[in-house]
């Protein structure tokens, strides 16, 4: 196809970062997003201002471009299926997305294709509120959860009952709490020719269920590295997936790997690729969905640390002083998403620091330093 006009459903920071890659590849980006203040609007040739689940807006988007891809999975699948039947090209395809959009369906699918997952069930109205896995236990919204919103780690039966009732008792995913040793993640890509490439496995650090930092590459044994790579290959080829996906995993102290979640798009754990890899995850997604050969996913620096700059107050600041302070760190690359307002937990930007071979051990120390500059009042 060699399509040079790509539509993106969602106009947040992921689409914004895709914008830079689009320019490099000579691709025109068209975006569907609810607000003119959303980050990707500034990098789009044209924006359809509409919610991401508005399929009428997507029909308009389709008239502007050759292929539609996603930065967000909060879509209305049945309505988009009607557009696909009329010939609109989605990559990943809607069949690729169907088993992944709902956290419970996704777990069932991963288990069905033989991937290791935590034990899980549903909590449904009318059924007894029981945890077959003891406590703590993890309760998750089936759809529309992100950045830990919709995920609840509950210490006892009382908390489980209370939380579920306060949410008006919807059907939810209930799963065992995994006392993981570490959290890992990996980005992988597949194009229309079936070429598959997997980025290095990284280690992620979460606080209150939100990603705070990522270290690339993770210090894991070759056995774990190849197990994770095999999971990515298995998933991409079973789905015949076209695009990029992010896989979040738990590594237990018995060296057991469990898949926590699949994001059928670029992912926060892959932001380091912008500065630390030959091909960023954003360029990789554009290459995959436009029939281009994939680029190299290899690191071009021995190691890197990525730190999220999360909002910690309600404000309209642009935080120039703090950013200038962070910019003084050698080999620091700041990406500021240009959001008009800050609120607690909102992803406002991130910084990646490239590390030389002898600095590999400095990742954690550097992320602490950046966080102390960023979060100090």
CB of 196 to ligand ADP, least distance (A): 23
- The answer to the question of residue 218 lying near ligand ADP (CB under 6 A) is no
Tell me how far apart the alpha carbons of residues 191 and 242 are, in angstroms, rounded to a whole number. 5
How many residues of this chain interact with ligand ADP, rule: CB under 6 A? 17
Encoded tokens for 246: 């992010």
Q: Which is nearer to ligand ADP, 160 or 292 (CB)?
A: 160
- The answer to the question of residue 177 lying near ligand ADP (CB under 6 A) is yes
Tell me how far apart the alpha carbons of residues 372 and 377 are, in angstroms, rounded to a whole number. 9
Residue choice 74, 133, 135, 146 for contact with ligand ADP (CB under 6 A):
146
Residue choice 8, 9, 178, 184 for contact with ligand ADP (CB under 6 A):
178
- The answer to the question of residue 352 lying near ligand ADP (CB under 6 A) is no
* Pick from 327, 370, 331, 371: nearest CA to 354: 331
Using the contact rule CB under 6 A, the part of the chain among 141-149, 228-236, 239-247, 321-329 near ligand ADP is 141-149
Q: Return the C-alpha torsion angle 279, 281, 282, 288, nearest 10.
A: 80
CB of 129 to ligand ADP, least distance (A): 18
Using the contact rule CB under 6 A, the part of the chain among 20-28, 126-134, 140-148, 357-365 near ligand ADP is 140-148
Q: Is 362 helix (H, G, I), strand (E, B) or coil?
A: helix
Residue pair 352/274 in contact (Cβ under 8 Å)? The answer is: yes
- Nearest-Å Rg of the Cα atoms of the chain is 20
Q: Residue 277 half-sphere exposure, CB side, CA atoms within 13 Å? A: 25
Crossing angle between the packed helical segments 77-85 and 55-64, to the nearest 10 degrees: 40
Using the contact rule CB under 6 A, the part of the chain among 171-179, 227-235, 292-300, 342-350 near ligand ADP is 171-179
- The answer to the question of residue 248 lying near ligand ADP (CB under 6 A) is yes
- The answer to the question of residue 13 lying near ligand ADP (CB under 6 A) is no
Using the contact rule CB under 6 A, the part of the chain among 68-76, 176-184, 233-241, 353-361 near ligand ADP is 176-184
* Pick from 51, 84, 100: nearest CA to 264: 100
- Report residue 186 CA to chain centroid gap: 10
Tell me how far apart the alpha carbons of residues 187 and 277 are, in angstroms, rounded to a whole number. 12
Q: Which is nearer to ligand ADP, 183 or 359 (CB)?
A: 183
- The answer to the question of residue 209 lying near ligand ADP (CB under 6 A) is yes
- The answer to the question of residue 122 lying near ligand ADP (CB under 6 A) is no
Q: In what helix (H) or strand (E) does residue 246 lie, and over which residues does it extend?
A: strand 243-251
- The answer to the question of residue 116 lying near ligand ADP (CB under 6 A) is no
Catalog residues that contact ligand ADP under the rule CB under 6 A.
118, 138, 140, 145-148, 151, 175, 177-178, 183, 206, 209, 248, 260-261
């Amino acid at each position: 196809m060699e399509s040079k006009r790509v539509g993106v459903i969602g106009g947040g920071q992921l689409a914004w970062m895709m914008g830079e890659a689009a320019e490099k590849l000579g691709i025109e980006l068209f975006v569907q997003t609810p607000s003119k203040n959303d980050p990707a609007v500034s990098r789009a040739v044209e924006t359809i201002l509409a919610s991401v689940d508005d399929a009428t807006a997507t029909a308009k988007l389709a008239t502007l471009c050759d292929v539609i891809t996603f930065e967000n999975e909060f879509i209305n699948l049945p309505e988009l299926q009607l557009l696909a039947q009329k010939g609109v090209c989605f990559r990943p395809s809607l069949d690729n997305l169907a088993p992944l959009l709902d956290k419970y369906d996704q777990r069932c699918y991963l288990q069905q294709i033989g991937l290791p997952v935590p034990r899980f069930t549903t909590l449904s109205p009318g059924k007894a509120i029981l945890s077959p896995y003891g406590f703590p236990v993890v309760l998750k919204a089936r759809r529309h959860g992100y950045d830990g919103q919709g995920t609840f780690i509950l210490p006892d039966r009382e908390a489980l009952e209370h939380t579920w009732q306060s949410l008006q008792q919807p059907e939810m995913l209930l799963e065992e709490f995994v006392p993981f040793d570490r959290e890992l993640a990996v980005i992988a890509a597949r194009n229309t020719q079936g070429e598959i490439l997997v980025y290095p496995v990284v280690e992620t650090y979460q606080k209150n269920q939100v990603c705070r930092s990522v270290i690339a590459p993770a210090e894991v044994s070759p056995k774990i590295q190849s197990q994770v790579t095999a999971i990515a290959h298995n998933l991409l080829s079973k789905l015949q997936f076209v695009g990029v996906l992010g896989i979040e995993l738990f590594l237990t102290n018995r060296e057991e790997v469990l898949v926590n979640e699949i994001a059928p798009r670029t992912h926060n754990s892959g932001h380091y690729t912008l500065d630390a890899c030959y091909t960023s995850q954003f360029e990789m997604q554009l290459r995959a969905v436009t029939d281009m050969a994939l680029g190299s996913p290899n690191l071009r620096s021995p190691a890197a640390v990525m730190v999220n700059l999360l909002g910690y107050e309600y404000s309209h600041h642009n935080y120039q002083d703090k950013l200038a302070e962070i910019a003084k760190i050698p080999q620091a690359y700041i990406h500021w998403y240009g959001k008009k307002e800050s609120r607690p937990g909102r992803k406002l930007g991130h910084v990646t620091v490239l590390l030389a071979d002898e600095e590999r051990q400095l990742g954690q120390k550097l992320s602490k330093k950046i966080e102390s500059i960023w979060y100090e009042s």
